[in-house]
Amino acid sequence: MNLLIRSAKIIYPNSPYHNQVSDILIEDGIITSIEKDISADYESFDAAGSMLMPGFFDLNCNIGELGNETKEDLQTGTSAAAAGGFTGLALMPNTQSPVHSKAEVEYLVNKSKGNLVDVLPLGTISNKREGKDMAELYDMYRSGAIAFTDGNRPVQDAGLMERAMLYTKGFNALIFSYPEDTAIAGKAQVNEGEVSTQLGMKGIPALAEELMVARDLYLAEYTNSPVHFSTISTKRSVQLIREAKKNGIKVTCDVAAHHLVVTDNELNSFDSLYKVKPPLRTRQDVDALIDGLNDGTIDAIVSQHTPHEVEYKDVEFEIASFGIIGLQTAFSLALKAGLTPELIAEKLSVNPRKILGLGPVKLEVGAKANFVLVDPNISWDYAKTTNFSKSENSPYIGQTLNGKVLLTINNNQQFKNTSK
């Protein structure tokens, strides 16, 4: 792939080119020149008014393969990722069967080779995600799993979580915690509060999340091991993690993009497309999440891409499945939340790779081209025709969103967004 990008504003935190407007020449997928004005007899892309950032990396992506390919397969999932500006995905192990041994890890690693999007499987903490016995963590690590989580099933057994933290510490792997105390959350569907009372529905208290955050912070401190919290959603969770960081506990966390812009007030219409877990919270929680991003308490933004067939969502709210697709909307929602381009680059590109211990994406001569070109001032129509996912369970399909991904480049391949 040979390409000349003209007049792009570079948004690369910690790069000497940060905030500069430059031309970038790519030859065979490698950056060969970064100058104010480059002449080359190659295809060119006019990037005037656009911003060039490191390719986004998603720490929380669900793809049905293995076993649930009717929801999403690797081809459609990575296509949606590229359309959303993602050049890397950490795949949750919520598949059938779960990614709980080296066989599943090796299948996903081999199946995704040669893709524009780098795919990194996450292995389960427990065998079959049952929360009882520890899975084959080291075997999975050697096969390519660099972190471990039971996905959307919290590890209720504190002893199991402690052993997993201690064990993975020996080979520098990372444990992801999905913080929910199921004994407190029960089978409720929405956030506990005024809206749940008005709707006449049993709510999930913020306490269900916060108890598990507190527990796993204690375990991380006791074992002197790192822990990463997936999709925190409450004000108190932000406060707990902020204090833990001040006290030197090795903790990182992320937030789903939709939790930054939508509150539980959207549920008054009983629209099952807004049924997610953790549930949509209050405006006070949303404001605390945004504050946490701005002050560094929250390290990353994730899509929490969770595809479903129509029969799992186009049903009564109480029996609908949790989750929405989010790979193509994460950047637009981050903009809608009022985040600056610099902060978006940090939370969607730089920090996710840092959390996983991956090397940074470099913008320099001789480096592999791995970046996304976005225009925060261009609107685009998210429609069924512009949706690259196999599933359509997004409340944003049919809406016009601000902030368009124009070009995604990685692994000597490019995705050019020609939709309007």
Report which of residues 14 and 365 the model is more confident about.
365
Query: Which position has the token pair 């040669």?
Result: 114
Contact yes or no for 365/76 (Cβ under 8 A)? no
How many helices (H) does the chain have, and how many strands (E)? Answer: 12, 18
Write the DSSP symbol of residue 199.
H
pLDDT in tens, 274-318: 999 999 999 999 999 999 999 999 999 999 999 999 999 999 999
pLDDT in tens, 103-149: 999 999 999 999 999 999 999 999 999 999 999 999 999 999 989 99
Q: pLDDT averaged over the chain?
A: 96
pLDDT of residue 418: 80
**Helices marked H in 256-308 — which ranges?**
283-294
CATH superfamily of the 3-52+364-383+398-416 domain: Urease, subunit C, domain 1 (2.30.40.10)
pLDDT of residue 22: 96
Q: Is the pLDDT of residue 350 over 80?
A: yes
pLDDT in tens, 194-207: 999 999 999 999 99
pLDDT in tens, 57-97: 999 999 999 899 999 999 999 999 999 999 999 999 999 88
Taking the model in full, what pTM does it have? 0.96
pLDDT of residue 316: 94
User: What whole-number distance in Å separates Cα of residue 150 and Cα of residue 81?
Assistant: 22
The continuous run of DSSP H or E covering 398 comes out as none
Give the pLDDT band (50/70/90) at residue 39: confident
Average pLDDT over residues 377-401: 96
pLDDT of residue 170: 93
Contact yes or no for 54/361 (Cβ under 8 A)? yes
Q: At what angle do helices 235-246 and 206-223 cross, to 10 degrees?
A: 10
Write the DSSP symbol of residue 105.
H
Q: Is the pLDDT of residue 164 over 70?
A: yes
Per-domain residue ranges of the chain: 3-52+364-383+398-416, 55-355
Of all residues in the chain, the percent with pLDDT exceeding 90 is 95
* Phi then psi dihedrals of residue 416, to 5 deg: -110, 125
Tell me which architecture the domain covering 55-355 has in CATH: Alpha-Beta Barrel (3.20)
Q: Is the pLDDT of residue 419 over 80?
A: no
3 state DSSP class of 33: strand
User: What whole-number distance in Å separates Cα of residue 2 and Cα of residue 22?
Assistant: 17
* Residue-wise burial string across 118-135, b where 16 or more C-beta atoms lie within 10 A, e elsewhere: bbbbbbbbbeebebeebb
Q: Is the pLDDT of residue 420 over 70?
A: no
Structure tokens at 132: 């009882």
Q: Is the pLDDT of residue 265 over 80?
A: yes
Report how far apart the first and last C-alpha atoms of the chain are (Å, whole number). Answer: 24
SS (H, E, C) 206-226: HHHHHHHHHHHHHHHHHHCCC
Structure tokens at 200: 């006449």
Give the HSE-up count for residue 144: Cα atoms under 13 Å, Cβ half-sphere.
19
Give the pLDDT band (50/70/90) at residue 188: very high
User: What whole-number distance in Å separates Cα of residue 396 and Cα of residue 252?
Assistant: 29
pLDDT in tens, 16-28: 999 999 999 999 9
3 state DSSP class of 103: helix
Burial class (CB in 10 A: 0-12, 13-18, 19+), 109: middle
Contact yes or no for 189/318 (Cβ under 8 A)? yes
Of all residues in the chain, the percent with pLDDT exceeding 70 is 100
User: What whole-number distance in Å separates Cα of residue 44 and Cα of residue 331?
Assistant: 24
Question: 186-194: long-range contacts at Cβ-Cβ below 8 A with a sequence spacing of 24 or more?
Answer: 189/275, 189/279, 189/317, 189/318, 190/264, 190/267, 190/275, 190/279, 190/280, 191/264, 191/279, 191/280, 191/281, 191/282, 193/264, 193/282
